[in-house]
Chain A
Amino acid sequence: MSLHRLNYMEQLEAESIHIFREVAGQFERPALLFSGGKDSITLVHLALKAFAPGKFPFPLVHIDTGHNFPEALAFRDKLVEEIGAELIVRKVEDTIKQRRLTEPKGKFPSRNWLQTYTLLDTIEEFEFDACIGGGRRDEEKARAKERIFSVRDEFGQWNPKLQRPELWNIYNGRIHKGENVRVFPISNWTELDIWNYIRSERIPLPSIYFAHKREVIEHEGQLIATSEFVRPSEGDIIALKSVRYRTVGDMTCTAAVESYASTLDEVVNEIIATRISERGETRIDDKVTEAAMEDRKKDGYF
């Protein structure tokens, strides 16, 4: 007799697939917000499972700040081709010009929060009624309270005090014209769950997640890659180091971690180990950068 039991990873996967199918069943024009990072890559993997052997049922929408890692863009294009999905790219650069927005200044000029403008314009342009995102509840305090189907008004705003009760596995996605729903299929996954899943499913990731040699500026204890967007100034300590990234964001505001982990197993093991030693120590290394980066992402994307 076989065991009719799923492990926790299979249960999380089952929940996410169920959510994806609800989106496809309830909405006219859903889209998947794709940043090129591990969370949105995991979303694509789950969606492929949910609708196999059918074609990928949503366009991938990339709100492009123009500050991308070239490796992430190359990965995006290859993935889109492989799965046969439609890719919609809208550039923050164009929004800045059209809407006469002020470019961020400073040494690390982040366009992250300006993404909101481009995103809302894109939602309007294509009349998307649901936008699927890779937000997780373990990321941050407010997110711990956000629903899986999170209704946004026509300004894209989330009102935490007026959230719909979300009971059992029943998702109410009904909206008025002009509103949209942000859907978070991996709400109940933690960062570690994502990494373990990527490892067990052997999901390909952009090369910058693995150790590679890169010229970096050591800035307040963090390693920022030099690029056409971040130019070293006098007095900067520049070094060639073996690094990898824990998140894929903009080149202007994503810090690298010094690492020699070149395979998926090594990376995941390193992340598990870091978390344990981080707990034991009081020093913060890349963790804070990551949290801060993800916060900015939330203002922008979500």
Chain B
Amino acid sequence: MDLLRFITAGSVDDGKSTLIGRLLYDSKNILIDQLEALERSTKNRDDGSVDLALLTDGLRAEREQGITIDVAYRYFTTPKRKFIIADAPGHVQYTRNMITGASNASLIIILIDARHGVVEQTRRHSIIGSLLRIPHVVVAINKMDLVDNSKEVYDKIVADYEVVAKQLDLKDVTYIPISALRGDNIVDKSETIKWYTGKPLLEQLEEIHVESDVNLTDSRFQVQYVIRPQTDELHDYRGYAGKIMSGVYRKGDRVTILPQKKETTISKIETAGKEADEVFCPQPAVIHLTNDIDISRGDTIVHSNNLPFVNNEVDALLCWMDEKPLLQGNKYLLLHNSRIVRAVVKQIDYKLDVNSLAHFPVEDDVKLNEVVKAKIRLATELVYDPYKKLSCNGSAVLIDETSNATVAAVLLQ
């Protein structure tokens, strides 16, 4: 059994909460106390229906305002997979939260209201999905019952979305006509949308092939922590602990330490306390090297024949996440996995409109939720790959040193 992390973005109006509630409810993943609350609410309803949105109730402020503000994580399991849902808000003023939820997702469900078709929000969510390189897209065309389960309406929406998908270069897109409220094509195949011959949503989620999403070619490992027990029996033990971010490492591999640019060989590999001949992404590992090299937290170990970039000036897309605006020339800390480097946002090239992908000149400060292309200068060299090629080694955050807040998501180019 494996694990699939996916994101659903949207507001209550789109039926997102109902959709998630339906997935949890129909796949029998509801705990008894939730079920009780659900049944109590049902008794107060005239039509005896169940308010599935209750299952995704969040913070007090959210309940009061009937909106989703922050990302919530929800869990369910079927005999085939464990699922982690990042349940994110959909409105433009919560773009930062959606980006947070999308950063770990390997699939995005784009919810479309069948009555409204492809709208600005559909484009925005798809653009965010494509910026963050979410490999799989499921377009769930919801509220089919409100358009008489019309195939014409569905076909038109599919055709419209194909244009978006082509523009954004989305490779793996699946379309499913659903009614979250009535449970059509969520867990079970709909009996009313007869013309649809594809899988219901849950089956699609269970069967989508995610194994090849893992990059096993470009091996990247960053040191998180140096293990040196310094006891009598382990006097000379010095192991570099970290996570295999991508690729495969084997005993005897010729490797280069960056940014030191020193070459050596892997003499021993351990994972979870046991020796191993090889380790692969995303296993935790402790790597031992033949030569004595000064290596500390944040340094990178890669195969000598497959090197990442090493630069002290980088181009990046910044998704601004702080109430305080970004000012050109401001200093920040850049946290790239376990490596922290001083950084200056030297130049802001343009602003990217998340609704259209159009570029605009930046006239004043960069505000919360805006996405810009910028040049960043670093105090020491960064060892990275372009986000498009290898997201695990192309992502970073900016930290405001005075507030310690995480102020931007950084997609290196």
Contact of B58 among A141, A169, A281 (CB under 8 A): A141
Enumerate chain B residues within 8 angstroms of A151, measured Cβ to Cβ. 404
**B36 contacts A170, CB within 8 Å?**
no
Number of A-B contacts defined by CB within 8 Å: 178
Enumerate chain A residues within 8 angstroms of B225, measured Cβ to Cβ. 21, 24-25, 51
Which residue of B is nearest A275, CB measured? B31
Taking the closest CB of chain B, its distance from the CB of A245, in whole angstroms, is: 18
B163 on interface, CB distance cutoff 8 Å: no
Bin the interface of chain B by size: 35 or more
Contact of B103 among A22, A168, A291 (CB under 8 A): A168
**B75 contacts A188, CB within 8 Å?**
yes
Enumerate chain B residues within 8 angstroms of A11, measured Cβ to Cβ. 2-3, 282
Contacts A17-B272, A54-B228, A284-B33 given; indicate if A25 touches B96 (C-beta within 8 A).
no
Which residue of A is nearest B211, CB measured? A5
Taking the closest CB of chain A, its distance from the CB of B403, in whole angstroms, is: 9
B413 on interface, CB distance cutoff 8 Å: no
- Among A105-113, A158-166, A218-226, the stretch that binds chain B is A158-166
Enumerate chain B residues within 8 angstroms of A21, measured Cβ to Cβ. 224-225, 241-243, 284
A246 on interface, CB distance cutoff 8 Å: no
Per the bound structure, the CA–CA distance linking A160 and B30 in Å amounts to 25
**B30 contacts A167, CB within 8 Å?**
no
Per the bound structure, the CA–CA distance linking A168 and B335 in Å amounts to 12
Taking the closest CB of chain A, its distance from the CB of B182, in whole angstroms, is: 21
Contact of B28 among A14, A48, A279 (CB under 8 A): A279
Taking the closest CB of chain A, its distance from the CB of B393, in whole angstroms, is: 10
Per the bound structure, the CA–CA distance linking A281 and B103 in Å amounts to 38
User: What total of chain A residues lie within 8 Å of the partner, measured CB to CB?
Assistant: 62
**B77 contacts A14, CB within 8 Å?**
no
Enumerate chain A residues within 8 angstroms of B406, measured Cβ to Cβ. 164-167, 172
**B35 contacts A55, CB within 8 Å?**
no
A98 on interface, CB distance cutoff 8 Å: no
Per the bound structure, the CA–CA distance linking A190 and B318 in Å amounts to 34
B317 on interface, CB distance cutoff 8 Å: no
Contacts A4-B216, A142-B59, A170-B337 given; indicate if A54 touches B229 (C-beta within 8 A).
yes
- Among B66-74, B184-192, B347-355, B377-385, the stretch that binds chain A is B66-74
Contact of A165 among B32, B96, B224, B396 (CB under 8 A): B96
Per the bound structure, the CA–CA distance linking A151 and B404 in Å amounts to 10
**B397 contacts A170, CB within 8 Å?**
yes
Contact of A25 among B59, B224, B409 (CB under 8 A): B224
B 214-250 binary contact with A (CB < 8 Å = 1; else 0): 1010000000110111010010010001110000100
**A54 contacts B227, CB within 8 Å?**
yes
Taking the closest CB of chain B, its distance from the CB of A60, in whole angstroms, is: 19
B6 on interface, CB distance cutoff 8 Å: no
Per the bound structure, the CA–CA distance linking A169 and B337 in Å amounts to 7
**A53 contacts B234, CB within 8 Å?**
yes
Which residue of A is nearest B84, CB measured? A188
Per the bound structure, the CA–CA distance linking A193 and B333 in Å amounts to 36
Taking the closest CB of chain B, its distance from the CB of A280, in whole angstroms, is: 9
B104 on interface, CB distance cutoff 8 Å: yes
Per the bound structure, the CA–CA distance linking A100 and B71 in Å amounts to 41
B392 on interface, CB distance cutoff 8 Å: yes
Enumerate chain B residues within 8 angstroms of A29, measured Cβ to Cβ. none
Enumerate chain A residues within 8 angstroms of B35, measured Cβ to Cβ. 279, 282
Per the bound structure, the CA–CA distance linking A48 and B263 in Å amounts to 31
Taking the closest CB of chain A, its distance from the CB of B272, in whole angstroms, is: 4
B window 270-285: CB within 8 A of A:
270, 272-273, 278, 280-284
B window 13-66: CB within 8 A of A:
28, 30-33, 35-36, 39, 57-59, 61
**B338 contacts A22, CB within 8 Å?**
yes
A 23-67 binary contact with B (CB < 8 Å = 1; else 0): 011000000000000000000000011111111000000000000
**A188 contacts B73, CB within 8 Å?**
yes
**B100 contacts A53, CB within 8 Å?**
no
A176 on interface, CB distance cutoff 8 Å: yes
**B36 contacts A175, CB within 8 Å?**
no
Enumerate chain B residues within 8 angstroms of A163, measured Cβ to Cβ. 70
**B335 contacts A278, CB within 8 Å?**
no
**A160 contacts B234, CB within 8 Å?**
no
Contacts A17-B272, A55-B231, A137-B75 given; indicate if A167 touches B409 (C-beta within 8 A).
yes
Enumerate chain A residues within 8 angstroms of B228, measured Cβ to Cβ. 54
**A5 contacts B2, CB within 8 Å?**
yes
**A145 contacts B399, CB within 8 Å?**
no
B99 on interface, CB distance cutoff 8 Å: yes
**A145 contacts B72, CB within 8 Å?**
yes
Taking the closest CB of chain A, its distance from the CB of B317, in whole angstroms, is: 13
A174 on interface, CB distance cutoff 8 Å: yes
Enumerate chain B residues within 8 angstroms of A172, measured Cβ to Cβ. 335, 397, 399, 404, 406
**A6 contacts B282, CB within 8 Å?**
yes
Contact of B395 among A13, A161, A168, A287 (CB under 8 A): A168
Per the bound structure, the CA–CA distance linking A141 and B3 in Å amounts to 22
A window 169-226: CB within 8 A of B:
169-170, 172, 174-176, 187-188, 190, 192-193
Taking the closest CB of chain A, its distance from the CB of B297, in whole angstroms, is: 5
A138 on interface, CB distance cutoff 8 Å: yes
**A12 contacts B3, CB within 8 Å?**
yes
B82 on interface, CB distance cutoff 8 Å: yes
Per the bound structure, the CA–CA distance linking A285 and B29 in Å amounts to 18
Per the bound structure, the CA–CA distance linking A275 and B406 in Å amounts to 39
Enumerate chain A residues within 8 angstroms of B74, measured Cβ to Cβ. 138, 144
Per the bound structure, the CA–CA distance linking A276 and B103 in Å amounts to 33
Per the bound structure, the CA–CA distance linking A13 and B285 in Å amounts to 12
A residues in contact (CB < 8 Å) with B: 2, 4-8, 10-15, 17-18, 21-22, 24-25, 48-55, 137-138, 141-142, 144-145, 151, 160-161, 163-170, 172, 174-176, 187-188, 190, 192-193, 275-276, 278-279, 281-282, 284, 287-288, 291
**Given A4-B214, A21-B241, A160-B59, 11 new contacts (CB under 8 A):** A10-B283, A11-B282, A18-B243, A145-B72, A151-B404, A161-B59, A161-B61, A165-B96, A165-B100, A167-B406, A187-B73
Q: Top 5 closest A-B pairs, CB basis? A: A52-B273, A8-B3, A21-B224, A17-B284, A167-B103
- Can you sample 20 A-B contacts with CB below 8 Å? A8-B1, A8-B2, A18-B284, A21-B224, A52-B272, A53-B234, A137-B75, A138-B74, A141-B57, A144-B73, A145-B59, A161-B61, A165-B97, A166-B100, A166-B406, A169-B104, A169-B337, A170-B336, A170-B337, A174-B399
